[in-house]
């Protein structure tokens, strides 16, 4: 097969490309230039989209012995990921930019272009597994290394996309991948993993959002106690808060019972931020929109598990599909869940699909 290997400049994508080539595929490596100003993105151990990373990817391709190109998708990335991230926070929601990047960039823009150029598949360094299902469809399962499993951020992929995807690392623990990279002579063998948000160079999400949204949008608002309705303080931007946040509220005085307060709700129009007890954070149900099913959609209520954060625990649940999305009843409840987050549905280790949380029930 002709395989396009997406090479971020890290160890995982380098080994994935090497394995695809060793398997006999005709592999071409590409690096995605995602920033209009690469120096503004994270560098060193925290990066995945910088000039430094492009150089690491190119050197890895040379060692593997495959052609290498850089694709400029900075405009598409800004529109589909960065602008979406900003708009979601302005609306009082909590987005996941990595999940959106996988959906809109790596497995939409890149895959579409790859197929148009005559490639058969796109290989990435994600930790997930693909299997042939008994119904003839392709199933996506959790990786062998559950500590590195990335099926959550891949839960947005459709059957058509899975049919042209390759995840060569899904059956390997991360430690083995690093050892293999060293044996292959790849200089990225010991390169630390990227983390946090690539397009916020200093890691200060609140400061970055203040710069983007600070001119007349949600400039101020009140911090209100959920039980008493008392105004406890004020703030200069609702985007500075997330559901479940405890630190940085700057209320100035403790609750009457001495217990800490947590953000329970964010109302972006008035700018009101509601706070309350930890117990009040617990939600028992979710309403999800924008459903994306990896295979066939459930035909009725599904006893399953759901994951609500990239590295969160699996929660026992019942998912009920509808014409607009699906509802989720959580068996034991969950805390700190915010609209805008993704809910990924699992049947055992198999990814069923995902949706965007629109509302929670307490």
Mean pLDDT across the stretch 86-94?
84
Residues whose CB is less than 8 angstroms from the CB of residue 224 and which lie 6 or more positions away in sequence, other chains included: 230, 231, 232, 272, 273, 274, 275
Q: Are 168 and 126 in contact (CB under 8 A)?
A: no
How large is the C-alpha radius of gyration of the chain? Answer: 22
What's the pLDDT at 358?
94
Check if the beta carbon of residue 282 is closer than 8 Å to that of residue 230: no
- 342 contacts 251 by C-beta, under 8 angstroms: no
**Helix (H) or strand (E) segment spanning residue 129:** strand 128-132
Q: Could you give the CA distance from residue 195 to residue 189 in angstroms, rounded to a whole number?
A: 17
Q: To the nearest 10°, report the CA torsion of 311, 313, 315, 320.
A: 10
Q: CATH homologous superfamily for 2-125+168-190? A: HUPs (3.40.50.620)
Given strand 262-267, what is the order of strands in its sheet? 231-235, 221-225, 272-276, 262-267
pLDDT range class, residue 362, cuts 50, 70, 90: confident
pLDDT tens-digit profile of 297-352? 999 999 999 999 888 899 999 999 998 899 999 999 898 898 999 999 999 999 99
How far is the C-alpha of 25 from the C-alpha of 28, rounded, in Å?
9
- Given a contact cutoff of 8 angstroms between Cβ atoms, the answer to whether 343 and 306 are in contact is yes
Write out the catalytic residue numbers. 101, 198
Could you give the CA distance from residue 238 to residue 93 in angstroms, rounded to a whole number?
Answer: 10
Average pLDDT, the chain: 89
Q: How far apart are CA 27 and CA 279, in angstroms?
A: 52
Q: Where are the domains of the chain?
A: 2-125+168-190, 216-280, 281-361
Phi, psi of 279 (to 5 degrees): -60, -30
Give the model's confidence band at 41: pLDDT under 50 very low, under 70 low, under 90 confident, else very high.
low
Matching CATH number, 216-280, of 2.30.30.280, 1.10.150.120, 3.30.70.330, 3.40.50.10490? 2.30.30.280
Return the beta strands (E) in 272-324 as ranges. 272-276, 283-293, 302-307, 315-321
Distance in angstroms (rounded) separating the CA atoms of residues 96 and 103: 11
- By percentage, how much of the chain surpasses pLDDT 90? 56
What is the phi/psi pair of residue 85, to 5°? -60, -45
- Is the domain covering 281-361 a CATH 2.40.30.10 domain? yes
What's the pLDDT tens digit per position in 102-155?
Answer: 888 888 889 999 999 999 999 999 999 999 999 899 999 999 999 999 999 999
């Amino acid at each position: 097969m002709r395989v396009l290997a997406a090479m971020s400049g890290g160890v995982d994508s380098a080994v994935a490309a090497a394995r695809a080539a060793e398997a006999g595929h005709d592999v071409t490596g590409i690096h995605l230039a995602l920033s209009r100003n690469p120096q503004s993105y994270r560098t060193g151990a925290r990066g995945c989209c910088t000039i430094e990373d492009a150089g690491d990817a190119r050197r890895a391709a040379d060692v593997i012995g495959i052609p290498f190109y850089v694709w400029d998708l900075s405009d598409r990335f800004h529109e589909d990921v960065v602008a979406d991230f900003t708009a979601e926070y302005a609306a009082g929601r909590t987005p996941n930019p990595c999940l959106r990047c996988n959906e809109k960039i790596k497995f939409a823009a890149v895959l579409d272009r790859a197929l148009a150029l005559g490639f058969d598949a796109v290989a990435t360094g994600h930790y997930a597994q693909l299997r042939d299902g008994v119904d003839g469809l392709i199933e996506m399962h959790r990786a062998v290394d559950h500590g590195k499993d990335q099926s959550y951020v891949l839960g947005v992929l459709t059957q058509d996309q899975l049919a042209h995807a390759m995840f060569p690392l899904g059956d390997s623990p991360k430690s083995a991948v690093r050892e293999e990279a060293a044996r292959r002579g790849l200089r990225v063998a010991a390169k630390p993993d990227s983390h946090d948000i690539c397009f916020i160079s200093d890691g200060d999400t609140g400061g970055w959002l203040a710069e983007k949204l600070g001119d007349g949008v949600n400039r101020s608002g009140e911090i209100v106690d959920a039980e008493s309705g008392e105004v406890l303080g004020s703030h200069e931007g609702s985007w500075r808060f997330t559901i479940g946040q405890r630190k940085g509220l700057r209320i100035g005085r403790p609750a009457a019972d001495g217990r800490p307060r947590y953000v329970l709700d964010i109302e972006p129009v008035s700018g009101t931020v509601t706070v309350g007890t930890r117990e009040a954070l617990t939600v028992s149900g979710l309403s999800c929109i924008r459903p994306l099913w990896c295979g066939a959609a459930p035909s009725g209520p599904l006893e399953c598990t759901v994951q609500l954060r990239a590295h969160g625990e699996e929660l026992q649940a019942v998912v009920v599909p509808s014409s607009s999305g699906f509802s989720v009843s959580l068996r034991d409840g969950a805390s700190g869940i915010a609209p805008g987050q993704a809910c990924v549905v699992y049947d055992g280790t198999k990814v069923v699909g995902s949706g965007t949380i629109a509302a929670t029930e307490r």
